[in-house]
Structure 1
């Protein structure tokens, strides 16, 4: 039986297994299963792959999307530009295997943005600098949407601290994306500390978190009149792209 799954830490928040279990059942896909594989450290990655010989592909989530790269044999051009991987294809032959890395988060986020009017896509603030934030930034760059990162520890001229993010910056920005785990189950009482009072009906707030359906970040934005979207549609788009990779007849790298 072919196996696929998700690696990361604290996977109880994830809808990935529910999504793929439903897909496998509804499409009557035979001899395939999807599992959650919590990992305390990626040092166990190769031993895990060697032991579980039926695994053909993996999704990667927090906090391993960047760290996983050094454990892979090859990554595709987009994942290399983003410097983050959220999908792994594992090709096996006898007692050997090769791990290929891809990024479908960018595909997911691009498809989400397609739904929205250009008035929301003039400029952006990206909260967080992890693997998901890198994929979001890649899409914004491809669309020529100017943006700034906001981080607890700014590292370059394109990143701000939360203390530096003021009312005027929020007011002049139309798109705010939360790429941090703040608000994710079970820490549902947490949220990014930004000037929510400066948000209005000209803003689009996207939270990559999808559990709960409406985080405090989104609730606070909605109270101010903003259009809001959680991360579920992005999950679906990136998951379908991952499935195509896992089941492709060949790989182009």
Structure 2
């Protein structure tokens, strides 16, 4: 049996378990299962790895994406090392572990596909990244690799970030791609959204919400009302999950789009 799973706390709902269970059935992948491992502390991870001899790979979610690095033997230079966060762990036959970040790939690939379909080139955009947490870091590295300028928006102004209050009409108009990396608007808090001046959003804007539940967040709805193109985070999740599967089941991994 090949066992895969998700570590985090709390694990109230899991896209990953549903996705991989469906994948195993759909693709007739035998002798494989996906389980949830709710760890109250990362100190429980070594014992989990020791106990589950058939564990081949893990996904990592909140709140352990950064702290799990200290428990791993190696990091992928192209993703996890640069981002400083891990969402995928490969477990080798000798028990050693290596951390990867497939959020980077999922976001970058989904963005490129979306813009390509609409006849847009990444180089023609400047982006606003709403939020400065773990998810935002993967987005920053992905945009940098695409050659796209970006500005981080956070609750407090700093050398690296503009505050929400600092979002003038000029700033909004000059940044046609706006990415929400915060959890605002996630079910059940569907009445929440990032506090940006939506009145200055135009038909030339693209609003990308990393939230996938609900399918249309208030952030997306407000953008649509202004004529903007909008997308949720489901495609990113699917792509990062497939990249994780590739990592778990191949010897080498190429980070190319």
TM normalised by structure 1 equals 0.91
- Structure 1 residue 20 displacement after superposition: 0.7
CA RMSD of aligned residues (A): 1.9
1:138 counterpart residue number: 141
In the alignment, which of 136, 151, 154 is matched to residue 154 of structure 2? 151
Rounded to whole Å, the distance in 1 between the matches of 2:20 and 2:144 is 30
1:12 counterpart residue number: 12
Q: Is the 8 A contact 2:104 2:138 kept in 1?
A: yes
- Structure 1 residue 166 displacement after superposition: 2.8
- Structure 1 residue 249 displacement after superposition: 3.3
**What do residues 115-171 of structure 1 show as CA deviations (whole Å, max 9, x unaligned)?**
2012795100111122221111111111111101112245x5221222222332112
Rounded to whole Å, the distance in 1 between the matches of 2:112 and 2:54 is 37
Question: How many corresponding residue pairs?
Answer: 248
Rounded to whole Å, the distance in 1 between the matches of 2:7 and 2:209 is 21
2:132 counterpart residue number: 129
- Structure 1 residue 10 displacement after superposition: 3.5
2:42 counterpart residue number: 42
Rounded to whole Å, the distance in 2 between the matches of 1:223 and 1:217 is 10
Matches within 5 A, 1:104-123: 104-115=102-113, 116=115, 117-118=120-121, 121-123=124-126
- Structure 1 residue 50 displacement after superposition: 2.2
Rounded to whole Å, the distance in 1 between the matches of 2:123 and 2:202 is 12
Q: Is the 8 A contact 1:206 1:231 kept in 2?
A: yes
Rounded to whole Å, the distance in 2 between the matches of 1:250 and 1:123 is 34
Matched, 1:88 2:86: no
Rounded to whole Å, the distance in 2 between the matches of 1:199 and 1:251 is 39
Q: Where does the alignment leave 5 or more consecutive residues of structure 1 unmatched?
A: none
Rounded to whole Å, the distance in 2 between the matches of 1:47 and 1:162 is 44
Rounded to whole Å, the distance in 1 between the matches of 2:31 and 2:186 is 33
1:103 counterpart residue number: 101
Rounded to whole Å, the distance in 2 between the matches of 1:187 and 1:77 is 36
Rounded to whole Å, the distance in 2 between the matches of 1:242 and 1:146 is 28
Q: Is the 8 A contact 1:68 1:85 kept in 2?
A: yes
Rounded to whole Å, the distance in 2 between the matches of 1:121 and 1:87 is 32
Q: Secondary structure at the match of 2:96?
A: strand
2:73 counterpart residue number: 73
Q: Where does the alignment leave 5 or more consecutive residues of structure 2 unmatched?
A: none
**What do residues 42-70 of structure 1 show as CA deviations (whole Å, max 9, x unaligned)?**
23222222233322111112232222212
- Structure 1 residue 13 displacement after superposition: 4.0
- Structure 1 residue 2 displacement after superposition: 1.4
Between 44-53 and 26-35, report the one with greater CA deviation: 44-53
4+ runs deviating over 4 angstroms: none
